[in-house]
Amino acid sequence: MLRESLPKVITELPGPKSKEVIERRLNAIPSAISCATPCVIDRGEGAMIQDLDGNIFVDWVGGIGVLNIGYSHPEVIEAVKHQVDRYFHPQINTIHYSEYIELAELVNKITPGDFKKRTAFFNSGAEAVENSIKIARKYSKRTEIITFTGGFHGRTYMAMTLTSTVKPYKNGFAPLVPGVHRAPYPYTYRTDDNIPKEEVPDYCIEQLEKILVDDVAPETVAAIIIEPVQGDGGFVIAPDEYIKKLRAICDKYGILLIADEIQTGYCRTGRLFATDYWADYGVYPDILITAKSMAGGLPISAVTGRDEIMEACASGELGGTYGGNPVACASALKVIEVLQRDNYAEKAVKIGEVCMKRFEAWYEKYEFIGEIRGKGAMLAFEIVKDRGTKEPDAERVNRIMTACKQKGLILKNAGPFGQVIRALMPLNITAEQLEAGLSILEEVLEQEV
């Protein structure tokens, strides 16, 4: 059974059947929608995929954080089939349907904060980002938004403007959306001024306060949007001291705090939400946005917020034809039930422990690893040319990823220079499959010495 298999590559990659499809792809779809993995999937189960040529891979990308529950979970398939048999899409502004309401009630209940909340559903992460900003502006009657260096929020115009890195995300797409300001994210390994790690949170708070003096008046700022752990930015974890002070600044000036948990949400970091860690010290976002692993692969995103904030918009001011479609809602309801019932947060913690132990050994051994980091099963390490200068080494990253794929491990990089190797394996990966992935990676790292 594929679900229990280990990686096994039996042809050259790509194999002949995959090669034929990849060649057609190159001719049929824009090159901007690119893919460097040398196989075409035939089916997927758990953490494993089989390609058209019979090669088996362990997938440590999981649809970029979509597959916390893995491929083809049988209970999710059943829930989707049941929904498809009843109806596809009455449309929430046209006919009431209970899946949308039931899912909103559930998300309101499970997201951090024991206060009344409401949730609206959209189709993608970027759409949730867009709508969180619309809602924040409407509620606050303010225009300005603060975002962060290294942040990634999507590819629509506002989401792209909020996103940090110019190439490839914003290159040539100007003019962008006005009213967006950028503060330094507390990236303890890399700050512009090479500040010692322990001083980075305070340094970044000072920089934010400077922005509120030099760049934008605090009473005009509607919201600050932050990823608790940056995803595309390289799995950079915002320290708790920073988050506490950030919340205090928001409270001081009446600025809303939006947590973008599109990649961190639904058990990835070892809790149901990364903001559950914030709640331990009494910090809550005013608006929380989620997507990706929520429905295990069907397109849906959520904007969840305090009652009074979510009620700021009038009838017709929010929505979209497909937002919260019943098939995605049915999938999400089952995914969340399974994540909670089968304690996927605990699985993430265990995966994190196993991987970090290996990463620590690699850090000792391989000079080209600059830093290792992780929260739960959101795991990464940086590849550098020199530990002293921290110069990123994207070339080596690409070599490592290519070699891993050839041996049956699918990996993706991250970080502003492409210098970070990240792992987002499905959380129901077996211990043997996890070990197989680690062994492949170790073999490849060893070849780099």
Ligand X SMILES: Cc1ncc(COP(=O)(O)O)c(C=O)c1O
List of residues contacting ligand X (CB under 6 A): 64, 124-126, 129, 152-154, 227, 231-232, 260, 262-263, 291
Shortest CB 231 distance to ligand X, Å: 4
Shortest CB 8 distance to ligand X, Å: 30
Shortest CB 153 distance to ligand X, Å: 5
Toward ligand X, which CB reaches closer, 156 or 207? 156
Toward ligand X, which CB reaches closer, 274 or 333? 274
Toward ligand X, which CB reaches closer, 9 or 66? 66
Contact 135, 313 (CB under 8 A): yes
Toward ligand X, which CB reaches closer, 334 or 422? 422
Nearest to 300, CA basis, from 125, 117, 424, 153: 125
Shortest CB 298 distance to ligand X, Å: 12
Shortest CB 443 distance to ligand X, Å: 29
Shortest CB 410 distance to ligand X, Å: 17
Toward ligand X, which CB reaches closer, 72 or 156? 156
Toward ligand X, which CB reaches closer, 19 or 412? 412
CB closest to ligand X, residue no: 125
